[in-house]
Amino acid sequence: MSQFIQQVILGLLLGGVYVAVALGFSLVWGILNIVNLAHGALVIVGAYVTWALFTRWHVDPFLSLPVDALVLFVIGYALQRGVINRLIRAPLLFTFLLTFGLNLVIVSLLLLIFTADFRSVTTTYSGSGLELGNVTIPYIRVGGLAVALVLAGILWTILNRTRIGAAILAVGADRDAAQLVGVDLRHIYALTFAIGAAFAGVAGGIISTFQSITPTAGDPYTLQAFAVVILGGLGRVSATVAGGLAFGLIEVLGQSAPWLGSGYANAIAFVVLVVVLVVRPRGLLGRLA
Amino acid sequence: MIAREDRLPPRLRRSIFAVTMVALAYVILAPLTSIDAAQQAGLPLLTDKVWFRIVTTVLMFVVLASAWNIVGGLTGYASFGNIAFFGLGAYTVGALVANRGWPFGLALLVAPIVPALFALVIGLPLLRLRGHYFAVATLGVGVATGEVVNNVGPLGASTGLFLPIVRSDLLFFYLMLAAAGLAVLTTWVILRTRFGYGLLAIRENEEAAAVIGVNTNFYKVAAFCIAAALSGIAGGIFAQWNSFINQELVFAVSDNVQMILMAVLGGAGTALGPVAGAVVLELIIQTLAGGGSGSVYSQIGLGILLAVCVIFIPRGVIDFFGGRSKLSLRYFRQTLRETSA
């Protein structure tokens, strides 16, 4: 029984990471109608920023999260304004290919800069956790979940309580109408992508605290972010949170099943994805299209 | 993305035809100079190991791009999972030859069947999805299939499968050439049948196609299966040619993106567009890689090439033939304006 409770807790904690990864992905998809295949690469850029700050200046990984966000915000704004805006009205196959190309370029640049060596951020509190009977809760993962929930709160506040959020939602609802009432489309596109990238960067910072990072470590996260958005539903912050937590649970419980191994993370993601798409296309909490 | 063949002015058409025939004759006949008899007769050697490797790889991508084109170009379903069919074909031959001791020729006959059956099973649920959903669901199929294969002991798990080495550049070249010919011929025939018109109708407007009596589900799944069978043949030949396969080699998502780029760059929805795209792009990639494909710089080059191509020539190079569009700065400005924010 305590084994099961342990798995559920680990699943929810892992789900927190998926929430963090999927928030930005979901925002960009919902507003810009772009499935950003470079999202995982942006996550890993954030992880490398945290790693660099930690190794160079011994900055605590959780304190470096705002720096991750800032760096990725700038990169994201430049990418959207300079490149992706050129293709924003093209058929989706083209934005797909474009973001895949960006992914290749980012991953290759990371390989050139940081090489393919495994990098990890190990703090003094990395191994410790709260022990309740037979159940162990690692502090670092609790920190990750907390950050993810704070991120979700920030995104909800930006979208629902600020003027810029209103403009972003307006663009997502109807580009032409938004432009008619005076929204600067190019700026809002770039801003939306930048916010998505900043969230990806923070997610990367969290990931660096418990996983060794390599330039190619981001690719699975893109697929998982997609599965989370499908599972939760598009167009709501709460749906992404629900989808992320549910997905973390499914993955941990699925991998602990005796007839599966730990090598099936992507296969599980995909099976969940297809089943949800076929059975309930709008996800757990998604809005009706 | 509408099929635009047979609309070139006659003179241009004749000269393109002549150039293509000469190139084709060279590609088909040059390898024969490597046969012992030809060498003894004093013919100049026109091919070497590098030539065979490059041209056979190009032909392999002609098969893959043409197969993708049947689903992505004709039917309008952008599949990112075709690499799974290639991988399954490769593993079919790999398992039969390495584990069961089948002769390669017999195993190759099974190579198209396994992927086609797989396409039949996953096609029914997947082809109900559209747009992003279909693209990423198929991407998931590619990744997940590779992952499962990577975990199955009898298939060599993460080590991969080793096949007995067959040293014959000539054999694999002609096999791949035959597969490429089959792929192009299949597309050509499809484009001229009721089936092909049905696929084009689905691409242009699926509801309308259904209303005028196209059995859309049957057509889509059939196209998917044909593409899977063709990709499986290429995979089967690759397995024996390379004599070693593992997940990274035959389930590479970047190869799937390459075939899409080839079809789109050449002209999706035509029979010869993917061929042109595969030849041009694979030669560029081989040049960038400088012999060792997969190097960091070739990846960066491919990524930038992807971005430039989809931004500036979204309708493929085939758009420049036939006098509708001229290759000019104005064309680039025009395509840029059409899609920019």
Structure confidence at residue B30 as a pLDDT band (50, 70, 90): confident
From A43, A41, A46, A47, select the one nearest A18 (Cα to Cα).
A43
The domain ranges of chain A are: 15-217
pLDDT of B84 = 94
Question: Is the model's pLDDT at B185 over the cut of 80?
Answer: yes
Outline where DSSP puts E strands in chain B. Answer: 161-162, 244-245
Give the list of residues 6+ apart from residue B325 with CB closer than 8 angstroms, or none: B315, B319, B331
Percent of residues, chain A, with pLDDT higher than 90: 42
HSE-CB for A226 with a 13 A CA cutoff: 29
Helix-strand-coil split of chain B, %, nearest 5: 75, 0, 25
Is A103 an interface residue toward B (CB < 8 Å)?
A: yes
Mean pLDDT calculated for residue range A238-264: 81
Give the model's pLDDT for residue B3: 46
A273 touching chain B per CB within 8 A: yes
Report the gap between the CA of A31 and the closest CA in chain B (Å).
Answer: 14
- Kindly state the tokens that stand for B107: 């195993």
Rounded distance, CA A87 to CA A34, Å?
A: 10
Residues 6+ apart with CB under 8 A from B332: B312, B313
pLDDT value at residue B246: 87
Rounded CA gap, B142 and A39, in Å? 19
Instruction: Tell if the CB–CB gap between A35 and B135 is shorter than 8 Å.
Output: yes
- Measured distance CA(A14)–CA(A16) in Å, rounded: 5
On whether any CB of chain B is under 8 Å from the CB of A104, the answer is yes
In tens, the pLDDT along B62-113 reads 999 999 999 998 998 989 899 999 999 999 999 999 888 888 888 899 999 9
Q: So what's the pLDDT on residue B258?
A: 84
**Is the minimum CB–CB distance between A66 and chain B shorter than 8 Å?**
no
pLDDT attached to residue A6: 85
> Cα A55 to the chain's mean position, in Å?
24
Q: Convert the pLDDT of each residue in A35-74 to its tens digit.
A: 898 999 999 999 999 999 999 998 998 999 999 999 999 9
Interface of B with A in 81-120 (CB under 8 A): none
Q: Inform me whether the pLDDT recorded for B2 exceeds 50.
A: no
Confidence of residue B300 (pLDDT cuts 50, 70, 90): confident
Q: Which residue has the higher pLDDT, A257 or B143?
A: B143
pLDDT at A258: 64
Q: What is the mean pLDDT of residues B213-241?
A: 93
Contact A261 B151 (CB under 8 A): yes
Rg of chain A, C-alpha, whole Å: 19
Cβ–Cβ under 8 Å, residues B111 and B96: no
pLDDT reported for residue B154: 79
Question: A30 to chain B: which residues are within 8 Å by CB?
Answer: none
How many beta carbons lie within 10 A of that of residue B331, not counting itself?
Answer: 16
State mean pLDDT over B114-126: 92
Q: How many CB pairs under 8 A join A and B?
A: 137
Chain B neighbors of A93, CB-CB under 8 A = 72, 78, 135, 260, 264
- Maximal C-alpha separation, chain B: 66
> Which pLDDT score is estimated for B291?
47
pLDDT tens readout for residues A163-175: 999 999 998 888 8
Say if residue B34's pLDDT is above 60. Answer: yes
Q: Read off the tokens for B249.
A: 């080699």
Mean pLDDT of A201-212: 92
Q: In chain B, which residue's Cα lies nearest the Cα of A215?
A: B296
Element (DSSP H or E) covering residue A131 = strand A129-132
Q: Which amino acid, residue A207?
A: I
Three-class DSSP category at A137: strand
pLDDT of A272: 80
Cβ-based contacts of A266 with chain B (< 8 Å): 140, 143-144, 147
Give chain A's length. 289
CA distance B317 to chain A (A): 15
Q: Which residue from A69, A57, A76, A21 is spatially nearest to A207, judged by alpha carbons?
A: A21
Give the pLDDT score at B20: 79
Q: Flag if A266 and B143 touch (Cβ within 8 Å).
A: yes
* Residue A15: band (very low, low, confident or very high) from pLDDT cuts 50, 70, 90: very high
Min Cα–Cα distance to chain B from A107, Å:
9
Separation between Cα atoms, residue B168 and residue B36, nearest integer Å: 13
Domain positions in chain B are 10-36+47-339
Nearest to A87 among B264, B297, B311 (CB): B311
Q: Collapsing DSSP states into helix, strand and coil, what is residue A130?
A: strand
Q: Is the pLDDT of residue B317 over 70?
A: no
Chain B residues with beta carbon closer than 8 angstroms to that of A36 = none
B135 touches chain A (CB under 8 A): yes
Window from B14-18, B124-128, B185-189 with minimum mean pLDDT: B14-18
Cα of B142 to nearest chain A Cα, Å: 10
Chain A residue closest to B140 (CA)? A270
Question: In chain B, what percentage of residues exceed pLDDT 70?
Answer: 89
Interface of B with A in 151-190 (CB under 8 A): 151
The reply to whether B340 touches chain A by the CB within 8 Å rule is yes
Beta carbons within 10 angstroms of residue A124's beta carbon: 7
Residues of A in contact with B254 (CB under 8 A): 104
> Max alpha carbon distance in chain A (Å)?
61
Tokens of A26: 């979901």
| Interface mutation target, options A83, A97, A259, chain B, most CBs of B under 10 Å | A97
Name the token pair of B57: 């790889």
Residue linked to tokens 């036939």 = B322
pLDDT(B292) > 70: no
Of the candidate ranges A183-197, A261-275, B68-82, the one whose mean pLDDT is the lowest: A261-275
ipTM of the complex: 0.77
Work out the minimum CA distance from A171 to partner chain B, whole angstroms. Answer: 12
Structure tokens belonging to residue B102: 């089948």
> pTM for the complete prediction?
0.82
Chain A residue numbers touching B144 (CB-CB < 8 A): 266-267, 269-271
Query: pLDDT for A71-106, tens place per residue?
Result: 999 999 999 998 888 888 887 778 888 898 899 899
Q: Does domain B10-36+47-339 have CATH number 1.10.287?
A: no
CA distance to A159, B20, B174, B221, per residue, from A172 (Å):
11, 48, 53, 34
pLDDT tops 70 at residue B211: yes
Q: What is the mean pLDDT of residues B182-186?
A: 94
Which pLDDT does position A137 carry in this prediction?
83
Q: Which residues of A touch B296 (CB under 8 A)?
A: 108, 111-112
Q: Give dist(CA B120, CA A18) in Å, integer.
A: 32
Q: What is the mean pLDDT of chain B?
A: 83
